[in-house]
Structure 1
Amino acid sequence: MADSNFVPRATSHVILDLDGTLLNTDAITNEVLKVFIMRYGKKWDSRKAHRIVGRTPAEAAAIIVEDYELSCTLEEFISQITPMFFDQWCNIKPLPGSNRLIKHLTSHGIPMALASNSPKSNIEEKISFHEGWKEAFSVIVGGDEVNMGKPSPEIFVEAAKRLNVDPSTCLVVEDSLPGVTAGKEAGMLVVAVPSIPKQGGLYNSADEVINSLLDLRLEKWGLPPFDDWVEDTLPIEPCYIGGPVVKGFGRGSKILGIPTANLPAENFSSVLSEHTSGVYFGWAGLSSRGIFKMVMSIGWNPYFDNAEKTVEPWLLHDFGEDFYGEELRLAIVGYIRPEANFPTLESLIARIHEDGRIAERALDLPIYAGYKDSPYLKIACNEVAFTDRPV
């Protein structure tokens, strides 16, 4: 939180942003702009994407035309690129925790509103591809229904008006700085879920900054708590990935004391874009060796200051030898915690070992144990006697 002495007040209504908060619009935006910019002989720089996050469509278009010195007018840019975005809306995936949050609030009768800088017709079209979303929101306010978009508070004030509640009773969940500013100026409590990696420090005006919707604790704001955590873990929809081990018993293994299987990030771009950074766990099938419990990180690893997002599984078994180059397949079944900064290497190592103990216990539970029998994991292994292998 921005203020360590802040005491949360109870809220009764939730107002959500859409793009970057509930939907992984950034992935589609980068792909569309990459293709579009190429038409003008330019190369899209995803590192500049933060400049258009939270902007109205017209503002974002103006920034791109200026930054890339495109030989088209603003009107031409919008008319040319809009159909390209329309064609991709059906492919936008929910961000981790979006469906969980919407279903939870709906089941507890908590009124919700959507407030986005996008035109209302665009909002309705985007959410139409996600079952139950349109019915979940009693109010939808688009940027074309107010005089000024975020960071003006007008869109949130209008949402509260349509909900027929005082703004002070509303909790806003936002991914952008303009959205956070708008929510606070509207007199609302704001939880920020930054969509730009490693930028949480810029959101100090928010009442709380969290890593992802998976880390949202509604009870802090007087709302019904989630009841789906199991033994300090959160079950998630299983995800299966795999590839050859680039380094086994490499740098990570020697420092952490746990067999680390480094996987080439370029092979898992879709997984990396769909999963929030954090610590996960599940099962690992290693060719010729069997199936083992594992805990893993997805993210930038703040301590080592990685330049790019990575996948780092740690196998919870003492192999005693390297396994470089072997085929490794992973079944990610649960979530433990967000990625975090640690003051010392020793504190990082201690926490990773604690994560391992949590994963060890959890994977014995029926809700997770069955996934070790996945055919996907067994395909990675030469026909070995799995029952003879420790799990």
Structure 2
Amino acid sequence: GLVSEVLKVYLVKHKKKWDGREVHKIVGKTPLEAAAVIVEDYALPLSKEDFLSEFSPIWCKLKAQPGAYRLIKHLRGHGVKMALASNSPRANIDIKLSYHLTLKESFAAIVASDEVKEGKPSPEIYLEAAKRLNIHPSKCLVIEDSQPGICAAKAAKMEVVAVPSIPNQPHLYTAADEVIISLLDLRLETWGLPPFEDIANFPSLIHEDGELAEKTLELPLYAKYNDDEYFKSIPAPDHNNHLSH
């Protein structure tokens, strides 16, 4: 996944090889919790704070996941209220969103881990987000990529769509109401939201045998991705040319 690709590049600087064994222990955690795991398991000669100082600039500059801009632009255009609830502290969120100003302007509320008593998997962060949106938790749909986040959302009595950040580990996401490979696979109408007016031309499953295309999870693809290239508008129906029954 994306986390693995970034850490793989980072650890090379310290002559270490990322093997992915810790990924389930860091996804969905606070930055300091995740840093402590990496520093300890790889015996890095620096503190967790120093690790974050080196790693955060790399992480913050990453492109949004394929389909993220499309999804947020669409929902914003239909007047759907959105909130961002993250296990990162507010300072980290602000830095990352500074590279994605369009996204930042679309959120009616942003809740960080240092603005609540307990982060995910506690439901508090999602309950606070719903409160700021003035929407009952049961009316909220959460899109999550981590097991702690899914647990937090379900504990808040919200519906959850999982977009796994750890591929080929389906047992980590069974608590979600739906699991999809990519945001490109999201069908909003399933959740009572306005459907997309375009068609995705970038299927997440491209192998005939149904296996996940590994290149959809590679870092270079995220870096090069441009939403507009992969979508086309759905043509309006021609009411003057229809079949009679």
Query: For this structure pair, what is the TM-score category when the shorter chain's length is used for normalisation?
Result: 0.7 to 0.9
**1:51 to partner: Cα distance:** 2.2
Instruction: Tell me how far apart the structure 2 counterparts of residues 210 and 106 of structure 1 sit (CA, whole Å).
Output: 22
**1:178 to partner: Cα distance:** 0.5
Distance 1:105 1:51, change over 3 A: same
Alpha-carbon contact 1:55-1:178 (below 8 Å) kept: yes
Distance 1:89 1:51, change over 3 A: closer
Alpha-carbon contact 2:61-2:96 (below 8 Å) kept: no
Within the alignment, does 1:77 sit opposite 2:4 as a pair?
Answer: no
Instruction: Tell me how far apart the structure 1 counterparts of residues 22 and 133 of structure 2 sit (CA, whole Å).
Output: 36
Task: Name the residue aligned to 2:24.
Answer: 50
Alignment gaps of 5+ in structure 2: 217-228, 236-245
Instruction: Tell me how far apart the structure 2 counterparts of residues 183 and 223 of structure 1 sit (CA, whole Å).
Output: 18
Instruction: Tell me how far apart the structure 2 counterparts of residues 25 and 65 of structure 1 sit (CA, whole Å).
Output: 15
Task: Name the residue aligned to 1:283.
Answer: none
Task: Name the residue aligned to 1:294.
Answer: none
Alpha-carbon contact 1:116-1:141 (below 8 Å) kept: yes
**1:219 to partner: Cα distance:** 0.8
TM-score computed with the length of structure 2 as normaliser: 0.79
Task: Name the residue aligned to 1:32.
Answer: 10
Alpha-carbon contact 2:143-2:162 (below 8 Å) kept: yes
Task: Name the residue aligned to 1:62.
Answer: 36
Secondary structure of 1:132 counterpart = helix
Instruction: Compute the RMSD of aligned alpha carbons.
Output: 2.9
**1:127 to partner: Cα distance:** 1.5
Instruction: Tell me how far apart the structure 1 counterparts of residues 172 and 181 of structure 2 sit (CA, whole Å).
Output: 13
Task: Name the residue aligned to 2:239.
Answer: none
Paired amino acid for 1:223: L
Instruction: Tell me how far apart the structure 2 counterparts of residues 179 and 199 of structure 1 sit (CA, whole Å).
Output: 16
Count, aligned residues: 222
Paired amino acid for 1:225: P
Alpha-carbon contact 1:116-1:143 (below 8 Å) kept: yes
**1:147 to partner: Cα distance:** 1.5
Within the alignment, does 1:139 sit opposite 2:109 as a pair?
Answer: yes
Task: Name the residue aligned to 1:200.
Answer: 170
Task: Name the residue aligned to 2:64.
Answer: 94
TM-score computed with the length of structure 1 as normaliser: 0.51
Task: Name the residue aligned to 1:108.
Answer: 78
Aligned pairs for 1:343-382 within 5 A: none
Secondary structure of 1:111 counterpart = coil
**1:61 to partner: Cα distance:** 1.9
**1:89 to partner: Cα distance:** 4.5
Task: Name the residue aligned to 1:178.
Answer: 148
From the two aligned structures, give the one with the greater helix fraction: 2
Task: Name the residue aligned to 2:214.
Answer: 309
Instruction: Tell me how far apart the structure 2 counterparts of residues 26 and 108 of structure 1 sit (CA, whole Å).
Output: 35
Aligned pairs for 1:214-253 within 5 A: 214-229=184-199, 234-235=200-201
Alpha-carbon contact 2:81-2:108 (below 8 Å) kept: yes
**1:71 to partner: Cα distance:** 5.0
Deviations 1:315-337 (A, max 9, x none): xxxxxxxxxxxxxxxxxx658xx
**1:161 to partner: Cα distance:** 1.2
Distance 1:155 1:181, change over 3 A: same
Distance 1:310 1:118, change over 3 A: closer
Task: Name the residue aligned to 1:278.
Answer: 205
From the two aligned structures, give the one with the greater strand fraction: 1
Distance 1:221 1:150, change over 3 A: same
State which of 152, 158, 161 in structure 2 corresponds to 1:188.
158
Instruction: Tell me how far apart the structure 1 counterparts of residues 20 and 133 of structure 2 sit (CA, whole Å).
Output: 37
Distance 1:112 1:30, change over 3 A: farther
Secondary structure of 1:172 counterpart = strand
**1:47 to partner: Cα distance:** 4.2
Instruction: Tell me how far apart the structure 2 counterparts of residues 195 and 89 of structure 1 sit (CA, whole Å).
Output: 14
**1:26 to partner: Cα distance:** 5.2
Instruction: Tell me how far apart the structure 2 counterparts of residues 53 and 192 of structure 1 sit (CA, whole Å).
Output: 13
> Percent identity over the alignment?
54
The higher relative CO (CA closer than 8 Å, separation ≥ 6) is in 2
